[in-house]
Chains A and B, each alone.
Chain A
Amino acid sequence: MSGPFKGVGLASPLLLVLLGLFLAPVLLMLPQSLHEYIPGTGTSEAWTLQNYTRLLTDDYYREIIGRTLWMGSLVTFLCFLLGYPLAYFMARTTPAWRAAATLLVIFPLFLNLVVRSFGWITLLANRGVVNNLLMDIGLIDSPIKMLFNMTGLVIGLTHIYLPFMVLMLLTAIQNVPRDVEQAAATLAASKLRIFFTITLPLTAPGILAGSILVFVLTISALVTPRLLGGPAYKVMATLIYDEFMQKLDWPSGTSFAFILTAITLLIIWGAGRVARKWSGGLA
């Protein structure tokens, strides 16, 4: 071993473990996705790409893909919008306040996902807490439908993934040197301008990491979309689950899972490029 391959040699045990643990099981599924599933008979022997083409040509599936990505984007954006001010406050306040706020942010993570989702069902149902309250004070006449549609999903998922965004942003904001912001102030920049031209771009790596994390977690979430979306309002994760567990059509489920992975990777790559450009190569 010498030259450029020396490093590879040193890393190879780790590399093998990672390949064995993560990549191999995924690749083992690949052949599965290339056969047709015939109900009543089983998986056929013949090779085909139809599981992939079907997902992209059938407008029912396209709608689900679109809905999933839209849901991911909305949740990510909302988490960012709600999380940034919170993280900013936490980064710039006294240590005592920061500790208290961190505890509050992390606390929901200790609760079971199912419990939290059921909590939202109680709140958002047609005869739930929110609708009853709104009707009691006379703001609305009939319940607003907030379950089994995008509203419910986005509310539930934003609540669940907000802590991840806040923690990522907190580190990023804490890493912004105060000197640099003060330098901008001495150069006659207002507080608002300092925030938008200095602080925000300098936290781009954190925003990117937080957004990718929340986006990926959101579009792959299963429990919350199942509970808050019901059987009919499907996203990719519940669709894949149903292909496996309700239709027993594993080839289709596998191919959908690969397409979801491909879309995810594509979006991570694209987001990385955009953030890098915006932050002058910092992200």
Chain B
Amino acid sequence: MARLELEQLRKSYGQVDVVDGVSLAIEEGELVSLLGPSGCGKTTILRMIAGLLEPSGGCIRVAGEDITRTPVARRDIGLVFQSYALFPHMTVFENVAFGLRRRGVRGGSLTTRVEEALGMVQLAHLADRFPRQLSGGQQQRVALARAIAPRPRLLLFDEPLSNLDAQLRDRMQIELKQLQKELGITSVFVTHDQSEAMSISDRICILAQGRIQQFSSPEAIYRDPANAFVATFIGRSNRYAGPLRDGSIAIGGGLALPVRPGEAAQGTEVEAVIRHEDIGVLPAGADGGLHGRVRLRSFIGSRVQYVADLAPGVEIVAEVDAAGPSGGFEPGQEVALKIDMDRAFVAPVAAGAGA
């Protein structure tokens, strides 16, 4: 239960900077996700916080204390591994008791605290089992109980849910968030799954190529991406690029997308990122829409996704409410596509982090 600060944290292997000057502050009791594509440096940062990797530069502080060079064993930081990393030769009880014993907890209070930790993950009845006798989900819970039992100052999660099936993962996300709030332990959660990061985090830190792209709340990241990389990485989007002429982007096929004034200088190469749900699909000829023809229709639960051709070689993907009036177009039908350019992200091509 402490504030975590990273200051100009760096890790390089030879000439390659895997983590390139990352600074951020995580408030007490907050759950922050490090989100990014593989190779963005998120796991490296996590391992440096845990003490399993030595930073090439910069500083890590927990509750104001510099722990950059503190050995792992004395950091008081819990880590939940992607592989669970349970001790296969120990029972569930002994797994959970391991960290407590190292902190001098003995006898009755040891039993109480192990049972309490197992209770939190609803596994008190499996204390005598060995890890190999448990399902993947149960092993995940044991790993969680083992990490939280000593009540560390900080909890780190290294893609802990990626080995679970989809349904179980959804449940665990909710449980994990609840548990973290109950315990109030400052937590860092590494994931490459944006919906997981969205649902679980207080704030999300988006990383690419070892640098922070944006660090804000899930809503802010979704609604107000800081750059083209974030805009593309979060949500599902159409992406168009072309020169800016007369307040519109020429995207080929004789089509132009109007942009808000002041987004970029006349004549520069710009790109527009438009989310699937920010495109309305209307019957052909409707006012203010681009003309297109439906090529594919996919039903995805409450939503319907269309792939339509605007012009030869220019394609657009839109997603609408399945139950709404736009849910019923069929492939081959002519439609009008109305783009909400106010919500689109527009920026000069060079400005975004290349991704």
Contact = CB atoms under 8 A, between A and B. Distances in A.
By CB atoms of chain B within 10 A, which of A179, A188, A198 has the most? A188
B331 interface: no
Interface stretch (A16-24, A125-133, A138-146, A275-283): A275-283
Interface in B67-117: 72-79, 81, 83, 85-91, 98-99, 102-103
Contacts of A81: none
A184 interface: yes
Nearest to B104: A188
Contact of A280 (B72, B90, B102): B90
Say which size band chain B's interface belongs to: 20 to 34
Contacts of A191: 73
A187 to B, nearest CB: 3
B316 interface: no
B86 A180 contact: yes
A8 interface: no
Interface in B138-162: 146-147, 150
Contact of A186 (B78, B88, B91): B78
A182 B52 contact: yes
Nearest to A182: B52
Contacts of B79: 182-183, 186
A187 B99 contact: yes
Contact of A189 (B73, B76, B88, B147): B73
A188 B130 contact: no
Interface of B: 50-52, 72-79, 81, 83, 85-91, 98-99, 102-103, 130, 146-147, 150
29 contacts: A179-B85, A180-B87, A180-B88, A182-B50, A182-B52, A182-B72, A182-B79, A183-B79, A183-B85, A183-B86, A183-B87, A184-B98, A185-B72, A185-B73, A186-B51, A186-B73, A186-B78, A187-B78, A187-B102, A187-B150, A188-B74, A189-B73, A189-B102, A193-B102, A197-B98, A280-B89, A280-B130, A281-B89, A282-B88
Interface of A: 177, 179-180, 182-191, 193, 197-198, 201-202, 204, 279-282
